[in-house]
Every structure is written in C-alpha cells, then in structure tokens.
Amino acid sequence: MKPAYHPKFTITPAIAKALMRIEAAKHAIAALPITPRVLANLRETARLFSTHYSTQIEGNRLTQEQVTKVIRNDQHFPGRERDQAEVKGYYAALDEAARLVKHGAGITEAHIRKLHALVMAGGRTRVKPTPYRDGQNVIRDGRSKAIVYLPPEAKDVPALMRQLVAWLAKDDNWPVPVKAAVAHYQYATIHPYYDGNGRTARLLTTLVLHLGEYDLKGLYALEEYYARELGSYYEALTIGPSHNYYLGRADADITPWVHYFIAGIAHSFEKVRDQASAESARGSTDHSRVLRELDAKQRKALTLFEHAHEITAKDIAELFGYQPRSSAWLCQRWVENGFLVVADASRKARKYRLAAKFASAGRDDV
C-alpha cells in the first residue's frame, strides 16, 4: 500500500471555468446585505433541504414538508420510523459540523467518526465515534443485485482513512472546492462503514468547504444538486475499469468526478447569489459581523423581533415547538449569556428584549 494518498486528476478548462464561477458568486454574495430574515429563512431552509435530499438519495421516503415537521415539531409519521431516525441523525450531524467550523478545528479521523455516529444515532447527540467496519461489505444494484462496487478490505481501511485525513491537512495550493471533491470521492471509495457512508461523505464535503470559508454563511444545500440528478451523481462516482477497489478503482483518474462536483458547487452558489440579490433589493443593512456571534437558535429567534420590541417565553415555545418549561429555561440561559435582557420582571408573563449589542440586527432597516 502506498505511504501517502495522491489523487489523480486534471484541472481541465471546464473545471477552471466552474471554479471562476464559484469565486464570482462567492464575492458577489459577500458584498450583499445579510439580514436576520435571510439567515433565519434561507439558512434554515438550506439545512432542511440538505437533510431531506441527502437522506432521499439513500432511499428515505419522507417529503420535504414531512422532514420539516420531524425536525421542527418532532412529528411522528406511522410506518416511517426509520426514515424519521435518518433525518434526525443527519440534522444532528449538520449541527456537529457547524460546531467544528465555529471552533476552527482541523479535520481528524475522530471528527469524521463522530459525524458518522450521529448520522446513525437517530437524533441522539451523546454518541461515541464509530469504529470502522471489521469485515467486507459489498454494494449491489437494488434491482439486479449485481455487484456495483467491492470496497477495500477491512484491514486496509484504517490506513486509507489516515492517508485521506493527512492529505486534507496538507498546506498545498489546491482550491478548497477541489479538496472537497476529492474528500467526497475518496471517502466513498474507502467505504469505511457497513452503512451511512454516503451521508457521511456528504457531511465531510460540507465540513471541508465550510472550514475553507466556502460556507456562504450556510445558505446553500449541495445535496439538492446531487439528488436532482441522481443518475449523474452515481455515474460520476463510478470510475475505473473494474468495480473492485484493487483492480483499478484505487488509482483511477477522477477528473470526471471533480468536474461534476465543481459544477455542482457553482450551480448551488449562483442559486444563493440570486436569492441574496433579491433580498438586497429591499435595501436591508448588513448585520453579518454581529450575527456571527450567535448560534443557530439565536439567529432564528431574531425573526421574532422584526415586528416586536419584546417577546415572551411563549413566543419562543411556538417558534421552536418547545414545552413551556424548556422555552423558559432557554430564555434564562440567553439572559445569562447576554443575548436577551429582561424587559419587565414584575409581570406574570415575563418579557424579554434583545441586548443592545444585537438590537439593530433584530429589525430590518427597510
């Protein structure tokens, strides 16, 4: 086995053009106003889309509307328990990826193994990193049952994963989107687990892009691109003269996959640019610097202040689908960390307003 991982691909004119489209969209979005409404609506929509489409690729039968209800309201759909567990797991793993980005952590095997554990945990957040598979797995066609891919043997998986993580940590000149493409391909090729590999590969992609500052503030869902053209997704991943890892797949030229992947990022970024451009036409003020200090729930709670100076714990409960005690506890915690202040403690229905630092971001300047 090679001591280091060296992916084989070429930056073709088509790939270079797609990379330029990504940079153009990225810079255009950076210059546009990012308001609480944009972050709360587009960002949450992107996360729900990511969850829906990534699990749909694996055969999940829940609709986008049902996924939203499962995540926001913990709604139950009889006969869809496994599907519900899958979307909860993926959403929890997205939360973990966001936490890693916030802390600026470099990608480690432990991080990847924890993301996989969350994917498989059905929404539980107290998990231990999953150990790699201890036997051979085989990917078969769902209809014909013919072998589609025979991954590397279990004994080779730990070394292959170490090589991939070492390659990602290199201080080289490859564009971040290209590194994300390679990470997705190689992780799917190693197939380190019996199940959940596709979802974890897509989460790893998200992590690489976001750590490399290609997150667009979390407003895009690359998984939608894969799912819309699922045949193209699998075709782009299926590279090499044989379905056997050791008979050509390991050393295959992955240029077609890199092209497909980079074109997908360009498409997704341009879609966000168009949405953000429409928002900028409203003349809204950019609050992105202040909003970076807030977590996802706090950013969503800002929408309550668009038309009100004060809110109650009941408002929070309705926004998140919480029980009264949980929403009261969350409000108290936000008071303690400086996000909210108590507006009137003497009233039975205690009211809260934004701390001065965040007050200007709570209302749109339109």
Q: Which residue segments constitute the domains of the chain, with CATH numbers given?
A: 34-280 (1.10.3290.10), 288-359 (1.10.10.10)
321: left (phi over 0), alpha (psi -120 to 50) or beta: left
pLDDT at 365: 37
User: Facing residues of 353 across strands?
Assistant: 341
Which are the contacts of 318, defined by CB distance < 8 A and separation ≥ 6?
A: none
Judge contact between 237 and 185, C-beta under 8 A: yes
> Between these two residues, 70 and 306, which has the higher pLDDT value?
70
User: Facing residues of 352 across strands?
Assistant: 311, 342
Mean pLDDT of 25-36: 78
Phi and psi at residue 122, to the nearest 5°: 70, 25
Mean pLDDT of 82-88: 95
pLDDT at 362: 53
Round the average pLDDT of the chain to a whole number and report it.
Answer: 87
First vs last Cα of the chain: how many Å apart? 61
Mean pLDDT of 273-292: 67
Q: How far is CA 110 from CA 115, 119, 131, 158, 162, in A?
A: 9, 14, 10, 12, 11
What three-state secondary structure class fits 320?
helix
Which are the contacts of 217, defined by CB distance < 8 A and separation ≥ 6?
A: 34, 39, 43, 288
Query: Taking 60 as the threshold, does the pLDDT of residue 60 lie above it?
Result: yes
Q: How far is CA 44 from CA 71, 131, 192, 217, in A?
A: 11, 31, 30, 11
Mean pLDDT of 308-319: 85
Mean pLDDT of 104-110: 89
Taking only the tens place, the pLDDT of each residue in 111-120 is: 999 999 999 9
161-180 burial, b at 16+ Cβ within 10 Å, e below that, comes to bebbbebbeeeeeebbbbbb
What three-state secondary structure class fits 337?
coil
User: Facing residues of 139 across strands?
Assistant: 149
Percentage of residues in the chain having pLDDT higher than 90: 49
Phi and psi at residue 61, to the nearest 5°: -100, 0
Mean pLDDT of 261-274: 92
Q: Per mean pLDDT, which range of 142-151, 160-169, 208-217, 357-366 is the poorest?
A: 357-366
Query: Taking 80 as the threshold, does the pLDDT of residue 335 lie above it?
Result: yes
User: Facing residues of 140 across strands?
Assistant: 147
The token pair at 139 is: 């990917």
pLDDT at 296: 78
Query: Taking 80 as the threshold, does the pLDDT of residue 208 lie above it?
Result: yes
Query: Taking 50 as the threshold, does the pLDDT of residue 366 lie above it?
Result: no
Long-range Cβ pairs for the range 101-104 (8 Å, 24+)? 101/207, 101/210, 101/211, 101/215, 104/211
| Alpha carbons 257 and 271: distance in angstroms, whole number | 21
What three-state secondary structure class fits 136?
coil
The token pair at 230 is: 């699922």
Query: Taking 80 as the threshold, does the pLDDT of residue 40 lie above it?
Result: no
Judge contact between 51 and 67, C-beta under 8 A: yes
What three-state secondary structure class fits 103?
coil
